[in-house]
Amino acid sequence: MVVQTNERLLKACRLERTDVRPVWFMRQAGRYMEGYREIRKDHGMLEMCKSPEISSAVAAMPVEKFGVDAAILFSDITIPLTAMGVRLRIEEGAGPVIAHPVRVMGDVDEIAPLDIAEVSFTAESVKRTRELLSDAVPVIGFSGAPFTLASYLIEGGGSRNYTAVKSMMYGKQEVWRKLMEKLTAAVVDYLRMQVGAGCRVVQLFDSWAGCLSARDYSEFVLPYTSAIAGSMASENVEVISFLTGNSSLLPLMRCRGVTAVSADWRIRIDEAWDAVGHDIAIQGNLDPAVMLASKDYMLSRAGEILDRTRGRNGHIFNLGHGILKETPEANVKALVDYVHSRGVDE
């Protein structure tokens, strides 16, 4: 049954009082759901992303089944790259793989500006998701942030140490700047399209930026993420900033236009909120692996997070990263119900 309230997420982003804590999960429409796996058997990941009929059905599933307070666009963070002439594939278990990694200025020059028509299916997916849910909950749009997109482009896929990325960042700064400027412009256009289709919240996934020091983040990344968030300030949309792995970066994530900062599980939620300031919303931050434990243990850990944010407006309950594929659906439902059963002052 679809939750019928739902200004909860929007109110929390604006630091307004809510009846209960809003809750949604990164990767909430994904491999842990039987319904998703049934669809996935017959379709590749990129095919699903590019089919508004399929992607909207998947995005609506967790709202209808678990009562979460938002739907999130079903897509992949590398989708904008496909509309910039980048050849890539998504491999099961390995994620995006780039056919021709970017290493020199000529490679950057070959990347085209975003062709918005080539990602029009994303806007249609947003519209269909809203229709399926009768606008009962907000739809969250998203994009990979420039650093994370650049990491895929330069490394050719996922990486453990980001050697090629950092080599370019430090040693080929002109190439780095041009690549980041091109990606920044693309992300702005991509997010604006999603907002135009009806997204009331967007999340900027800088999943890999946690590998950086505060100095390097400030110098080589923050100007570009700030430009994106600032461009959203005039769009009447809430902006959530997300990265993992380095809690010292949290204060730097709250640039103009960002209305909520998402913390991972490596820092206590109250300490994260102290770090970013109480005049901005905080999202998080249960360890996704806790959802593989017994229901009682999972709820006790969730309760600690709720206790540490008790009495403050602006907490959005979420995980520190995406739901793991091994997560029992029963635990997802139990967690949503538990968060909703706790008043904001309890």
Helices (H), the chain: 8-13, 34-40, 45-49, 52-66, 79-82, 105-109, 120-132, 146-155, 163-171, 173-197, 214-220, 222-232, 269-276, 295-308, 329-341
Q: Average pLDDT in the 321-332 region? A: 97
| Residue 251 is assigned to a structural domain of this protein | yes
Least Cα distance to 344 among 305, 301, 304, 312 occurs for 312
Question: What whole-number distance in Å separates Cα of residue 222 and Cα of residue 220?
Answer: 6
For position 156, what pLDDT does the model report?
A: 92
Q: What is the mean pLDDT of the chain?
A: 94
243: which residues sit within 8 A by CB, 6+ positions away? 145, 205, 206, 207, 208, 209, 210, 249, 253, 262, 264
Top pLDDT among 343 and 226 is at: 226
β-strand pairing of 238-242 with 260-262: parallel
The CA angle 246-344-139, to the nearest 5 degrees, is 65
pLDDT at 1 over 60: no
Give the domain range for residue 200: 8-341
| Torsional sign, CA 140, 141, 144, 145 | negative
Number of domains in the chain: 1
Starting at the earlier edge strand, list the strands of the sheet with 139-144.
Answer: 71-72, 139-144, 201-205, 238-242, 260-262, 281-286, 315-319
Residue 1 lies in a domain: no
Q: How far apart, in Å, do the first and last CA atoms of the chain sit?
A: 26
% of residues, the chain, pLDDT over 70: 98
CB 129 within 8 A of CB 57: no
Per residue in 41-95, pLDDT (tens digit) is 999 999 999 999 999 999 999 999 999 999 999 999 999 999 999 999 888 777 8
Sign of the alpha-carbon torsion through 40, 44, 46, 50 = negative
The reply to whether 313 falls in a domain is: yes
CATH no. for residue 66? 3.20.20.210
* Domain annotation covers residue 346: no
Q: How much is the pTM?
A: 0.94
Question: Which residue matches tokens 């570009």?
Answer: 224
Residue pLDDT, tens place only, 148-185: 999 999 999 888 889 999 999 999 999 999 999 999 99
In this structure, is residue 2 part of a structural domain?
no
Query: Which of 13, 16, 37 is CA-nearest to residue 24?
Result: 13
pLDDT tens, position by position, 272-324:
999 999 999 999 999 999 999 999 999 999 999 999 999 999 999 999 999 99
DSSP letter for each residue of 135-174: TSSPEEEEEE-HHHHHHHHHHSS--SS-HHHHHHHHH-HH
CA distance 167 to 169: 6
User: Minimal CA–CA distance to 155: which of 94, 217, 203?
Assistant: 94
Whole-angstrom Cα distance, residue 262 to residue 272?
A: 9
Q: Is residue 209 a contact partner of residue 147, using CB atoms and an 8 Å limit?
A: yes
In a domain, 3, yes or no: no
Single-letter residue type at 46 = L
Residue 95 maps to a domain: yes
Give the Cα separation of 213 and 232 in Å (integer): 26
Question: Is the pLDDT score of 2 beyond 50?
Answer: no
